[in-house]
Amino acid sequence: MLDTEKLTFEHQCGGAVIAERLVLSAAHCFDKHPLQVERIRLVMGEHRLNIQDKHEHRFLVEKVVPHPEFRKNGPHSNDIALILVARSNHVQFNSHVRPICLPDAGAESAGRWCAVTGWGYQTESTESFAPVLRAAAVPVLDLATCRKDQILGGRQQAILDSMICAGILSGGVDACKGDSGGPLACTHGGRWQLHGVVSWGAGCGRRARPGVYTRVAAYVDWITRTASALGHRL
């Protein structure tokens, strides 16, 4: 969970811890102003957004690396960023904060039910974040379905192979504003894997408008290379 400073800090986006000092999020979360990492506070172990929870810890950020080709193939393309947590205080993994596994490169998740989590809007028109972390189960759709004209086909942003669509086509269950950057997590062999990063959608929870996620399995090489350039092993 990321907060950008205004007078105090306010919720902006989600994220997923993938290693001791590495958090994966969405590139569009860092797109607003010239990126000033000193104005970001990253919170691990968060549960209630506006209350100091026992297990939450705040961190400074040393570096944010948005994907170099963010927006190259449309406004929502390559919407992924790697965050290096500052060394100031060190991260302790426990039952409240622990890293999620990356999927195998090229892993398929179509047909599986996965979990999307975050503090985002609970409806498209409710302009406030959820006070307590929420989770929803959503099925991963195959790309052919998502690319149909009646679904998300024929729009300004093509559904790329590097995206995942997930959601219930009758509507009502989805990620929304404030969930961006957060995880679409799927269990695999008893472990949680990070299959998607909340990225965009046509509104929230609308009929035949699934949420669109960055397909993490398409970026495992980039993540590994970027992590090692930051001096962090994965």
Shortest separation between residue 206's beta carbon and ligand 4AZ, angstroms: 8
Q: Among this protein's residues, is 180 annotated catalytic?
A: yes
Q: Rank residues 23 and 204 by Cβ distance to ligand 4AZ and give the closer one.
A: 204
Determine the Cα–Cα distance for residues 16 and 10; give it in Å rounded to an integer. 18
Tell me the window of 64-72, 99-107, 175-183, 218-226 that interacts with ligand 4AZ (CB under 6 A): 175-183
Q: Rank residues 70 and 200 by Cβ distance to ligand 4AZ and give the closer one.
A: 200
Classify residue 38 by burial, with Cβ atoms within 10 Å: 0-12, 13-18, 19+.
exposed
Q: Which of 3, 11, 25, 28 is catalytic?
A: 28
Determine the Cα–Cα distance for residues 53 and 46; give it in Å rounded to an integer. 7
Q: Is 174 among the residues that bind ligand 4AZ (CB under 6 A)?
A: yes
Q: Among this protein's residues, is 90 annotated catalytic?
A: no
Q: Is 175 among the residues that bind ligand 4AZ (CB under 6 A)?
A: yes
The residue nearest ligand 4AZ at its CB is 201
Which 3 state secondary structure label does DSSP give 176?
Answer: coil
Distances (CA, A) of 83 to 86, 143, 172: 9, 29, 31
Q: Rank residues 140 and 176 by Cβ distance to ligand 4AZ and give the closer one.
A: 176
Q: Is 180 among the residues that bind ligand 4AZ (CB under 6 A)?
A: yes
Distances (CA, A) of 202 to 175, 195, 205, 209: 11, 20, 9, 6
Q: Is 201 among the residues that bind ligand 4AZ (CB under 6 A)?
A: yes
Q: Rank residues 114 and 227 by Cβ distance to ligand 4AZ and give the closer one.
A: 114
Determine the Cα–Cα distance for residues 105 and 37; give it in Å rounded to an integer. 30
Q: How far is CA 186 from the centre of its chain?
A: 13
Q: Is 226 among the residues that bind ligand 4AZ (CB under 6 A)?
A: no
> Active-site positions?
28, 79, 180
